[in-house]
Amino acid sequence: MKLSFALLTAIGLSGFVQFTHAADITGTVTLSGTPPAEIEIKPLENDPVCGKMHSGKVTTEFYVVGANKGLADAIVMLKGVKAAPASASAAPVVLDQKGCLYVPQIVAIQTGQKLVVKNSDPSTVPMHNVHINPKAGANLSEYSTKISQPQMSGAADLDYSFSAPENFMKFQCDVHPWMFAWVTVVDNPYFAVTDKDGKFTIKNVPPGKYKIVALHRKASPDGVEKDVDVKDSGATADFTLEIK
Amino acid sequence: MTQPSHNRWLHRFAVLTALATLALIGIGGLVTSHEAGMSVPDWPNSYGYNMFLFPPSKWVGGILYEHTHRLWASMVGLLVIALTRWLGGRASRKPLAIVGLVEVLAGLVIFAVLPHEKATGGFLTGIGGMVLLAALVWFRNEAAPSPLPQLGWLTFFIVQFQGLLGGLRVVLFKDQIGIFHATLAQIFFVLTCLIALMASAWWSRMANTPHATRHTQPSLLSSFSNLQKVIFATTALILFQLILGATMRHQHAGLSIRDFPLAYGRLWPATDPASLAHYNAHRIEITAIKPVTAFQIQLQMVHRIVAMLILLAVGWCALKAWRKFPGPLAKISAFWFCLILCQATLGAATVLTDKAADIATLHVLVGALSLATGAALSIIALRFPQRAAGVSPAEAVSKRQPAMDLDGVADMGTAGKMPSAR
Q: Which strand (E) or helix (H) includes residue B240?
A: helix B218-249
User: What is the biggest distance separating any 2 CA atoms in chain A, rounded to whole angstroms?
Assistant: 73
Mean pLDDT of B41-50: 89
Helical (H) or strand (E) element with B21: helix B8-33
What is the reported pLDDT for A23?
93
**Residue positions counted in chain B:** 422
Q: Are B92 and B149 in contact (CB under 8 A)?
A: yes
Instruction: Return the top range by mean pLDDT from A226-240, B40-54, B102-116.
Output: A226-240
Write the ipTM: 0.84
Q: How confident is the model at residue B5 (pLDDT cuts 50, 70, 90)?
A: low
pLDDT at position A7 over 80: no
B81, B129 contact by CB (below 8 A)? no
Whether B169 contacts B43, CB under 8 Å? no
Q: What is the pLDDT of residues B171-230, one digit of tens each?
A: 888 888 999 999 999 999 999 999 999 999 999 988 887 655 555 567 777 888 899 999
Q: Which residue has the higher pLDDT, B3 or A175?
A: A175
Q: Which of B60, B281, B286 shows the shortest C-beta gap to A49? A: B60
Q: Pick the closest to residue B17 from B87, B96, B77 (CA basis).
A: B77
- From the list A41, A78, A67, A87, the residue with the least C-alpha distance to A201 is A78
- Do A106 and A94 form a contact (C-beta atoms < 8 A)? no
B58 at A interface, C-beta within 8 A: yes
Reduced to 3 states, what is the DSSP secondary structure of residue A137? helix
Q: B141: helix, coil or strand?
A: coil
DSSP line for A140-151: HHHTTT-SEEEE
Compute the 3-state secondary structure of chain B and give helix, strand, coil in percent, each to the nearest 5. 70, 0, 25
Q: What are phi and psi of B391, to 5 degrees?
A: -70, 130
- Report the 10 Å Cβ neighbour count for B160: 18
Per-residue pLDDT band at A88 (split at 50, 70, 90): confident
Distance CA(B284)–CA(A61), nearest Å, equals 9
Q: Exposure string (b/e) for B274-307, b if CB count within 10 Å is 16 or more? A: eebbebbbbbbbbbbbbbbbeebbebbbebbebb
Q: Which amino acid is at B46?
A: S
Does B35 sit within 8 Å of A176, measured CB to CB? Answer: no
CA–CA min distance A162, chain B (Å): 20
Instruction: Supply the mean pLDDT for chain B.
Output: 88
pLDDT the model gives residue B251 = 85
String of DSSP letters for B37-74: TTSS-SSSSBTTB-GGG--GGG--THHHHHHHHHHHHH
Whether residue A39 and residue B58 make contact (CB cut-off 8 A), yes or no, is no
B94 to A61, B79, B86, B97, B102: CA distances (angstroms): 62, 19, 13, 5, 12
Residues of chain B positioned with their CB less than 8 A from the CB of A125? 60
Number of DSSP helices (H) and strands (E) in chain B, helices first:
14, 0
Report the distance separating Cα B12 and Cα B398, nearest Å: 44
Flag whether residue A207 sits within 8 Å of chain B, measured between CB atoms: no
Pairing of strands A208-216, A220-230: antiparallel
Cβ atoms within 10 A of the Cβ of B23, count? 14
The answer to whether the CB atoms of B39 and A177 lie below 8 A apart is yes
- What does the pLDDT average to over A21-43? 94
The dihedral of CA B270, B274, B276, B278: what is its sign? negative
**Is there a contact between B316 and B230 (Cβ–Cβ < 8 Å)?**
yes
Query: Tens digit of pLDDT for each residue in B346-401?
Result: 999 999 998 999 999 999 999 999 999 999 999 999 988 777 776 654 443 443 34
DSSP A4: H
B124-154 pLDDT, tens digit per residue, is 999 999 999 999 887 778 899 989 999 999 9
pLDDT value at position B210? 66
Chain A interface disruption, residue of B57, B282, B292, B354, most A CBs within 10 A: B282
What integer is the mean pLDDT of B309-328?
93
CA atoms A85, A173, A156, B40: torsion sign: negative
The fraction of chain B above a pLDDT of 90, given in percent, is 66
Instruction: Give B280-334 as a DSSP string.
Output: HHH---SS--SPP-HHHHHHHHHHHHHHHHHHHHHHHHHHHHHHH-TTHHHHHHH
Residue B418 clears pLDDT 60, i.e. is over it = no
Residue B419 has pLDDT above 50, yes or no: no
- Neighbouring residues of B235: CB distance < 8 A, sequence distance ≥ 6: B371, B374, B375, B377, B378
Lowest mean pLDDT among A174-188, B287-301, B389-403: B389-403
Instruction: List, in order, residues 6 or more apart from A60 with CB less than 8 Å away.
Output: A38, A39, A41, B284, B285, B286
Bridge partners (DSSP) listed for residue A217: none
Give how far A35 is from chain B: nearest CA, Å: 7
B286 near A CB under 8 A: yes
Nearest-neighbour CA in chain A from B259: distance (Å): 15
- Angle of CA points B356, B358, B363, to nearest 5°: 95
pLDDT higher than threshold 50 for residue A19: no
Give Cβ neighbours of residue B376 (< 8 Å, ≥ 6 apart).
B193, B194, B197, B332
Residues of chain A contacting residue B63, judged by C-beta atoms under 8 Å apart = 175
A53 contact B CB<8A: no
* The pLDDT of residue B289 is above 80: no
Residue B10 pLDDT exceeds 70:
yes
Cβ within 8 Å, pair A174-B62 = yes
Quote the pLDDT of residue B293. 95
Q: Is B274 on the interface with A (CB under 8 A)?
A: yes
Give phi and psi for A104, each to the nearest 5. -80, 170
Residue B394, pLDDT score: 47
**Contact state of A177 with B34 under an 8 Å Cβ cutoff:** yes
Residues of B in contact with A176 (CB under 8 A): 61-62
Tell the burial category of A92 from Cβ atoms under 10 Å away from its Cβ (0-12, 13-18, 19+): middle
Q: If residue B232 lies in a helix (H) or strand (E), which one and from where to where?
A: helix B218-249
d(CA A113, nearest CA chain B) in Å: 26
* Of residues A148, A177, A218, nearest to B41 (C-beta): A148
* Residue ranges of A 65-124 with Cβ closer than 8 A to chain B: none
pLDDT single digits (tens) A43-82: 999 999 999 999 989 999 999 999 899 999 999 999 989 8
C-alpha distance from residue B215 to each of B20, B79, B88, B330 (Å): 43, 44, 38, 20
What is the pLDDT, as a whole number, of residue B421? 33
Peptide bond into A206 cis (omega under 30): no
Q: B412 phi and psi, to 5 degrees?
A: -80, -45
Residues 6+ apart with CB under 8 A from B111: B117, B118, B121, B122, B125
Answer whether residue A14 shows pLDDT above 50: no
Three-state DSSP at B383 gives helix
